Structure 1
Amino acid sequence: MPLATVRTLAAGAHVGDLVFIRVPVRPFREVADATGTWTNHVGIVVDTSGAEPVVAESTFPWAKLTPLTRFAQRSEGGRLALARLATPPTADEQRRMQAAAERRIGTLYDTGFNLRSRRQFCSRYVREVLGDATGIEVGDVETFSTLLAHRPGAKLGFWRLWYFGRIPWARETVTPASLLRCGRLTLEFDGIVFDPRRA
Structure 2
Amino acid sequence: MKKLSAVSLLLCLMLGCAQADESPSPAPNPTESIKRLDEALAVGDVVFIHVAPLPFRKVSEATQSWVNHVGIVTDVSGAEPVIAESAFPFSRTTVLSRFVARSKGGRVAVARLGQGLSETQRQALVRASERRMGILYDTGFNLKSRREFCSRFVREVLIDATGIAVGEPESFRTLLARNPDTRLGFWRVWYFGNIPWDRQTVTPASLYHSDKLQRVFDGFAS
How many Å separate the matches in 1 of 2:186 and 2:33? 35
Q: How far 1:193 moved relative to its partner? A: 0.6
- The answer to whether the aligner puts 1:44 opposite 2:72 as a matched pair is yes
- The answer to whether the aligner puts 1:65 opposite 2:93 as a matched pair is yes
Structure 2 portions without partners, runs of 5+: 1-28
Give runs of aligned pairs for residues 164-175 of structure 1, distance below 5 A: 164-175=192-203
Q: Secondary structure at the match of 2:139?
A: coil
Deviation per CA, 1:23-69: give whole Å up to 9, x if none. Answer: 01110000010000001000000000111100000000000000001
Match of 1:121 among 149, 171, 180: 149
Name the aligned partner's letter for residue 43 of structure 2: V
Name the aligned partner's letter for residue 62 of structure 2: A
Q: Which residue of 2 aligns with 1:87?
A: 115
Q: Which residue of 2 aligns with 1:96?
A: 124
Q: How far 1:87 moved relative to its partner? A: 1.3
TM-score, L = length of structure 1: 0.97
How many Å separate the matches in 1 of 2:176 and 2:94? 31
Match of 2:173 among 129, 142, 145: 145
Name the aligned partner's letter for residue 72 of structure 1: V
- The answer to whether the aligner puts 1:23 opposite 2:38 as a matched pair is no
Q: How far 1:149 moved relative to its partner? A: 1.1
How many Å separate the matches in 1 of 2:143 and 2:92? 19
Q: Which residue of 1 aligns with 2:191?
A: 163
Deviation per CA, 1:92-114: give whole Å up to 9, x if none. Answer: 00000000000100000000000
Q: Which residue of 1 aligns with 2:135?
A: 107
Runs of 4+ in 1 over 6 A off after TM superposition: none
Structure 1 portions without partners, runs of 5+: 195-199
Q: Which residue of 1 aligns with 2:63?
A: 35
Deviation per CA, 1:70-91: give whole Å up to 9, x if none. Answer: 0000001111000011110101
CA RMSD of aligned residues (A): 0.5
Q: Secondary structure at the match of 2:54?
A: coil
Number of matched pairs = 194
How many Å separate the matches in 2 of 1:91 and 1:186? 19
Q: Secondary structure at the match of 1:120?
A: coil
- The answer to whether the aligner puts 1:185 opposite 2:210 as a matched pair is no
How many Å separate the matches in 2 of 1:77 and 1:25? 14
How many Å separate the matches in 2 of 1:51 and 1:193? 17
Q: Which residue of 2 aligns with 1:78?
A: 106
Q: Which residue of 2 aligns with 1:197?
A: none
Higher strand share: 1
TM-score, L = length of structure 2: 0.87
